[in-house]
Amino acid sequence: METVLSGIRPTGNLHLGNYFGALSNFVEMQNEHNCYFFIADYHSLTTHPTPKDLHGNVRQVLVEYLAAGLDPEKSTLYVQSDVPEVNELYLFLNMNAYIGELERCTSFKDKIRQQPQNVNAGLMTYPTLMAADILIHRATKVPVGKDQEQHLELTRQFSNRFNRMYSVDYFPEPQAFNFGKELVKIPGLNGSGKMGKSEGEGNAIFLADEPEVIRKKVMKAVTDSGPTQHNQEKPEVIQNIFQLMKVVSTPDTYNYFDERYNSCSIRYGDMKKQLAEDMIVFTEPMRERIKAISADEVYIANAARIGREKARESASKTIREVREIIGFRNF
Ligand code: TYM
């Protein structure tokens, strides 16, 4: 049995990229493995949310995790800030993380470009906090999208460095993982490459989107003027639409439009109509459950309490052992 851990920053509603990058098949996964799913609210502080936004976003992600099928009895579903032990491990790991390697991190460089007015120390040490999240439960498998691969590489470095420094074999080497398949990058709809919350209007399909909204967004997706030669290579914007179809539609549907593309008889309008309907069918059960769970304060509070208790039990054991290894002793 593996220890699996996955996290999502609460900065808005979950989209299909989050789902296929970090969650798909997790319903079966939680029956076989020791699973931790958490809401990375400390991480979201790097962009300085208001208290109201912070709380609302944490609640929304909690609801959407539950709506997607996570069972709080089988998995450990918790809010990062409910487990203060993670801060202590973050501090220990920071003593052993070098400025150079943190500065070289692609996500840090991206942030410097995106928010030059707010390049704070939390942004630079984002990978050590992420390593602390993973190592606090000594997780071995970390379901993530392709964008998090480098963070996992750093986690392994910090883990190995700790083990070497104290001559122990305590922390594992966690691997990025996508429930048995390759890591994915789900594209967005506006030609910007990645589906994401901050990639512009209409780019992301949210699990909570109403059918009309999904139809509108998909029909506006960027395409080109169509193929002119048989079997020609698809440009990126077209590959994006096909990739989205691959994850939500049946293989037959995908093959039908692929064949149409290859024979230059495709009509993008028809393809988008089909894609929108398949996205609606895919998200429908979650959309209904989001509404039901969101109205049930008692269920939400209970889920958060059960998760907090289980997560703290595991985290405090790790911290006790790490303190012992480092040499903190009682008098
Ligand atoms: P975040 O909140 O940006 O995204 C949450 C998860 O969704 C995946 N994801 C995608 N996967 C495929 N295609 C996309 N278009 C797409 N967009 C998002 C992300 O790869 C991620 O798996 N740093 C993390 C949160 C975090 C974490 C952790 C994750 C904090 N500590 C420990 C795992 C383990 C983040 O910002 O993800």
The secondary structure of 211-264 as a DSSP string is HHHHHHHHHT----S---STTPPPPHHHHHHHHHHHHHS-HHHHHHHHHHHHTT
**pLDDT at position 135:** 98
With contact defined as beta carbons under 8 Å apart, do 140 and 175 qualify? yes
Probe residue for ligand 1, chosen from 80, 147, 152, 247 as the CB with the greatest number of ligand atoms within 8 Å: 147
Say which residue the tokens 């993008």 belong to.
268
With contact defined as beta carbons under 8 Å apart, do 195 and 204 qualify? yes
Percent pLDDT > 90 in the chain is: 91
**pLDDT at position 180:** 65
Query: Of residues 197, 246, 273, 317, which has the active-site annotation?
Result: 197
Look up the CATH number of domain 3-184+297-326: 3.40.50.620
Instruction: Find all residues with CB under 8 Å of 242, minimum gap 6, and list them.
Output: 234, 254, 257, 258, 261
Distance, CA 145 to ligand 1 centroid (Å)? 6
Q: Break the chain into its structural domains and give their ranges.
A: 3-184+297-326, 197-291
Angle between helices 85-94 and 149-165 (to 10 degrees): 80
Atom nearest to 40 CA in ligand 1: 30
With contact defined as beta carbons under 8 Å apart, do 14 and 61 qualify? yes
SS3 label, residue 166: coil
Query: pLDDT for 37-61, tens place per residue?
Result: 999 999 999 999 999 999 999 999 9
Superfamily of domain 197-291: Tyrosyl-Transfer RNA Synthetase (1.10.240.10)
- Decide if 111 is catalytic: yes
Torsion angles phi and psi, residue 37, rounded to 5: -125, 130
- Decide if 310 is catalytic: no
Query: pLDDT for 202-250, tens place per residue?
Result: 899 999 999 999 999 999 999 999 999 999 999 999 999 999 999 999 9
Reported as type and span, the H/E element at residue 87 is helix 85-94
State whether the beta carbon of 10 lies less than 6 angstroms from ligand 1: no
Query: Of residues 111, 217, 272, 310, which has the active-site annotation?
Result: 111
**Token pair listed for 279:** 């996205």
**Token pair listed for 88:** 């202590």
Instruction: Find all residues with CB under 8 Å of 312, minimum gap 6, and list them.
Output: 82, 83, 85
Probe residue for ligand 1, chosen from 93, 148, 155, 156 as the CB with the greatest number of ligand atoms within 8 Å: 148
For residue 73, what are the CA distances in angstroms to 70, 142, 252, 310?
9, 20, 37, 10
Residue 8 has pLDDT above 90, yes or no: yes
Distance, CA 39 to ligand 1 centroid (Å)? 11
CA-proximal residue: ligand 1, atom 4 (nearest): 8
Alpha carbons 96 and 99: distance in angstroms, whole number: 10
Mean pLDDT to the nearest integer, 265-286: 97
Q: Which of 61, 77, 75 is nearest to 18 (CA)?
A: 61
With contact defined as beta carbons under 8 Å apart, do 306 and 73 qualify? yes
Query: pLDDT for 92-141, tens place per residue?
Result: 999 999 999 999 999 999 999 999 999 999 999 999 999 999 999 999 99
- Decide if 197 is catalytic: yes
Q: Which of 114, 93, 115, 99 is nearest to 160 (CA)?
A: 93
Torsion angles phi and psi, residue 138, rounded to 5: 50, 50
Query: Of residues 141, 194, 217, 310, which has the active-site annotation?
Result: 194
CA-proximal residue: ligand 1, atom 22 (nearest): 144
- Please report the DSSP string for 104-157 in residue order: T-HHHHHHHHH-GGG--HHHHTHHHHHHHHHHTTT-SEEE--GGGHHHHHHHHH
Alpha carbons 9 and 39: distance in angstroms, whole number: 6
**pLDDT at position 214:** 98
Beta bridge partners of 7: 38
With contact defined as beta carbons under 8 Å apart, do 134 and 37 qualify? no
CA-proximal residue: ligand 1, atom 29 (nearest): 7
Average pLDDT for the chain = 95
CA-proximal residue: ligand 1, atom 17 (nearest): 17
CA-proximal residue: ligand 1, atom 36 (nearest): 9
State whether the beta carbon of 6 lies less than 6 angstroms from ligand 1: yes
**Token pair listed for 319:** 């911290």
**Token pair listed for 326:** 């480092």
State whether the beta carbon of 130 lies less than 6 angstroms from ligand 1: yes
With contact defined as beta carbons under 8 Å apart, do 122 and 128 qualify? no
Query: Which pLDDT band holds residue 321 (cuts at 50, 70, 90)?
Result: very high
Distance, CA 143 to ligand 1 centroid (Å)? 9
